[in-house]
Amino acid sequence: MNEKVLLEVEQKLGYQFSNRELLARAFTHSSAVTDRILSNERLEFFGDAILGMVICHNLFETFSDYLEGDLTKAKSMLVSRRNCARIARQLGLNEYLKVGKGMISSRALTGSLSAGLLEAIIGAIYIDGGFEASRDFILRVFAEAIKQAQVEQYHGNFKSLLQQYSQQRFNKTPVYELLDEKGPDHDKCFEVQGIVNGRCFASAWGTNKKEAEQKAAFNALVELGILKNIGNTDEAD
């Protein structure tokens, strides 16, 4: 890698290396060198361990009500080769990976090699800048995936997600206020409004109070920007 390319890569990563030899090594696949010790395989091995530790710690701290099985499921999804490869592609890193001639057109470039590249970069950042630098990088580039894991876990239980947000942010529990009810006793509909730290959010109707509260919680999460592009409140049924 020449100076210009190294600068481009650092800009994409959002991290400036003190030792750019580490950066160049992270982008060198074993197929491009005669001695595999000069490839990114060792960095990939190291980065994989760091990634797992950071993600596990983040899940443990963020999702305080997850059981072991829930944590394992979320962690497996986040550190999977598929997800790592997707993030590498989103960052536009594949084009800089140095591979042997026989690998240039390989489908693995968009799969396992991309995943290994991201892990090698994590290892290189750790060695170059320490644990905090690698942790900050991981949490930044995995932010959307972590949010999605949260959404998937709480999908259909938006009250739990809103309660977690409210308690972490304001140390308060959300309040649900009944605004209106219509219909005969055997077929009533209820309108409920969610309130977080004194802020009122869009109300929602439901065929029972529980359903209305779920939909009201969904509206609050959307307004807060926690849930995006999920659809309308019908999904909270």
Q: State the catalytic residues.
A: 48, 119
Angstrom distance (rounded) from CA 181 to CA 165: 28
For 33: left if phi > 0, alpha if psi spans -120 to 50, otherwise beta; the answer is: beta
The β-bridge partners of 193 are 177
CB count in 10 Å sphere of residue 173: 10
